[in-house]
Structure 1
Amino acid sequence: MKITIAAVGKLKEKYLKEGIAEYVKRLSRFADIELVEVEDEHAPDSLSPAQESQVKHREGERVLRKIKEGSYIILLDLAGQHTTSEGFAAKLESIMLSGNSHITFIIGGSLGLDQSLISVANHRICLSKMTFPHQLARLILLEQTYRAFKIMKNETYHK
């Protein structure tokens, strides 16, 4: 199984890099993990709706170029499906059992997602009703993916 996490923006915070590295290491016994970052657009606070749309579109195009053909695409989206850790594990298991050997998770930039990304997604999930920085979403996604594999394998992991 191959899992790609494609995210807008560079990760700068040391504590996030360390946490992500830890979960990539843990996940490596279950899947081949690839982290892909694309450049984010400069977006001052005073953008018009049209300018916001242009920023999201440019970021979306960069992400789309990184998606491998045939990959099952899961978009992290505030309007996506809410689920439990067990439900997330069941979804991943279902994807794998249906013959998909590559899953790509997409995390958009600070302004959100372009329609071009929404339209190619096979599935959309929401990590929480709470708002997180998109950089922190990478760590949360990796932890939940690790937890999902532990659930699928019936292995103990803290609850």
Structure 2
Amino acid sequence: MKIQLWSIGKENDPYIREGIALYQKRLQHYVDFELKLIPTVKQAGSLSVPELKKQEARIIMDMLQPADYLLALDEHGKMMTTVQFSDFLQQRTNASTRQLIILIGGAFGLDPSLLQRAQLQLSLSPLTFPHQLVRLIMTEQLYRAYTVLNREKYHHQ
């Protein structure tokens, strides 16, 4: 299975880039992982929030393949423990999912069309985090989940 973390927005700040690189390097032992940054829509400031979300959705829908499993990060999504997330990844592997896309929306979240396309909506927390930090958190959580699956000592229960 290949996992791609897609995020709308600007390049990562140096401290975020460094953290992601650390976990990306560790993840390569378990899974094919890639971070893909999707540039912000041109003239986003002049668009209404619904129109901006629609334009972002069009870009993402064009990038998705029909067989892609889409996990959308959304504040109203399901919450999981680390072990549940590990089990989810194992289920996707067992189901022969070729590509898992984990999607972080833009500043105003995801368009309803993307939430409908998603096979799973996941919430990281009831708290709000900066999008760049969510990229780092998700990369670390993927690494943590794979160490759980491989019974390694990174995650303490």
Please give the TM-score of this superposition, normalised by the length of structure 2: 0.92
Q: What amino acid sits opposite 2:130 in the alignment?
A: P
Question: Who is 2:51 aligned against?
Answer: 54
* Structure 1 unaligned blocks of 5 or more: none
How far 1:65 sits from its partner (Å)? 2.1
Task: Report the count of equivalent residues.
Answer: 155
Q: Percent identity?
A: 35
Check if 1:32 corresponds to 2:29: no
Q: What amino acid sits opposite 2:39 in the alignment?
A: E
What do you get for the CA RMSD once the two structures are aligned?
A: 1.6
Question: Who is 1:140 aligned against?
Answer: 137
Alignment of 1:121-140 (within 5 A): 121-140=118-137
Question: Who is 1:101 aligned against?
Answer: 98
* Structure 2 unaligned blocks of 5 or more: none
Q: Note the alpha carbon deviations across 1:9-62, whole angstroms, 9 max, x for none.
A: 122310001111111111011111122111213555xx8xx8100011111212
Please give the TM-score of this superposition, normalised by the length of structure 1: 0.91
Contact 2:4 2:36 in 1 (8 A): yes
Kindly report structure 1 stretches of 4+ aligned residues shifted beyond 4 Å: none
Contact 1:60 1:117 in 2 (8 A): yes
Given the alignment, which residue of 79, 82, 90 partners 2:87? 90
Given the alignment, which residue of 100, 107, 110 partners 2:107? 110
Question: Who is 1:15 aligned against?
Answer: 15
